[in-house]
Amino acid sequence: MTLPDGEASAGASRHYRALESLYAAAPINRFFESRLEIVDAGLSRIHFTIDERHFHAGGAAHGTSYFKMLDDAAFYAANSLVTDRFLLTTQFNLLFTRPLSVGPVIAEGRWISGQRRVFVADARLIGPDGDEAARGTGTFMRSRIALADLPGYRIPA
């Protein structure tokens, strides 16, 4: 059955909000204060701020911050297209282009390909000055984990 555009759009929006809720509920995000925004099908943004807690000994953001935010942004861009299953990262490549210092950062994720079992998505980090600081590409696979079974995945009424 094909839903009218308004109903399909409303269903997609509820799925996006449920994914945002799932992201916010993840225990790892207690260490990485951030906010996920699913903009549209296949497009996500994560807003966060780098501060000295994220620094390595050289005085810039450690690679864990880069990887975490790039992987999450790409992952949620891909999972925005899947309404029944949680995806799993199976591979992720990372390219550091410049160091991040203190300030707000946006991770932008974008679905590239795949619609059944394996998805490909990329992401980039945009630093406080508007310049790209890193980019990554990942592959994500459907798991056996039902989204509806995850406590953080709450579909709004």
pLDDT band, residue 5 (cuts 50/70/90): very low
Q: How far apart are CA 136 and CA 69, in angstroms?
A: 10
What radius of gyration do the chain's Cα atoms show?
16
Name every residue whose Cβ is closer than 8 Å to that of residue 12 and which is 6 or more positions away in sequence. 41
What is residue 111's predicted lDDT score, i.e. its pLDDT?
A: 98
Residue among 14, 100, 114 nearest 54 (CA): 100
- The region, left, alpha or beta by phi > 0 then psi within -120 to 50, assigned to residue 36 is beta
Helix (H, G, I), strand (E, B) or coil at 116: coil
What's the residue count for the chain? 157
Helix (H, G, I), strand (E, B) or coil at 37: strand
Q: How far apart are CA 95 and CA 137, in angstroms?
A: 9
For the stretch 61-90, pLDDT in tens is 999 999 999 999 999 999 999 999 999 999
**Overall average pLDDT of the 98-126 stretch:** 96
pLDDT surpassing 60 at residue 2:
no
Please, are residues 133 and 66 in contact by the beta-carbon 8 Å criterion? yes
The sign of the dihedral angle between the CA atoms of 3, 9, 10, 14 is positive
Q: How far apart are CA 130 and CA 81, in angstroms?
A: 28
**Overall average pLDDT of the 120-138 stretch:** 97
Share of the chain above pLDDT 90, in %: 89
**Overall average pLDDT of the 21-50 stretch:** 96
What is residue 20's predicted lDDT score, i.e. its pLDDT?
A: 98
Please, are residues 33 and 48 in contact by the beta-carbon 8 Å criterion? yes
At position 69, the amino acid (one-letter code) is: M
What is residue 156's predicted lDDT score, i.e. its pLDDT?
A: 84
**Overall average pLDDT of the 12-22 stretch:** 97
pTM summary value? 0.92
